[in-house]
Amino acid sequence: MLPSELLAKGWIQGTVVNRARTKFCIVGAVDYCFYRAGSLFPNSDQDFYPALVKEVEATGWEFGVPAWNDKTGRTQEEVVALVRRAEIACGLRPADDPEQWDIPVQPVEEPKPVLAETV
């Protein structure tokens, strides 16, 4: 599974991954896809991460990949599209891949307020 496919299933801001491991930020998705045991793309991050940084910088953002992911107002569709462009740029996804334009994403749930527990 490529990072964009993982992010299309579940995306999160403000943390690398949720406790259920069903939602990931960009960095969490890259880590999961390229470093976990049995990865189909070992060492692919060496080509992918520079391509990802280049795509983020092409948006005019100067504060790094994690901050781009976490920017207020950022959408899951934007994240998936940018990651797919980086996958194409480094050869992980074919340039004529029709999925790069059709981005089926799962709706992101609004964060629930965290309430302090009373003892």
For 94-105, how does the pLDDT look when each residue is reduced to its tens digit (9 = 90+)?
888 665 555 555
27 in any annotated domain:
yes
Q: What amino acid occupies position 38?
A: G
Question: For 31-46, how does the pLDDT look when each residue is reduced to its tens digit (9 = 90+)?
Answer: 888 877 566 655 565 7
30 in any annotated domain:
yes
Tokens of 1: 């599974």
Residue 74: name the closest of 18, 25, 117, 5 by CA: 25
The CA distance from 100 to 22, in Å, is: 22
Q: How far apart are the first and last CA of the chain?
A: 43
Neighbours of 17 (CB within 10 A): 17
Range of the domain at 72: 3-100
Indicate whether this model's pTM tops 0.75: yes
Task: Tell whether the model's pLDDT for residue 93 goes beyond 80.
Answer: yes
Question: What is the count of structural domains for the chain?
Answer: 1
119 in any annotated domain:
no
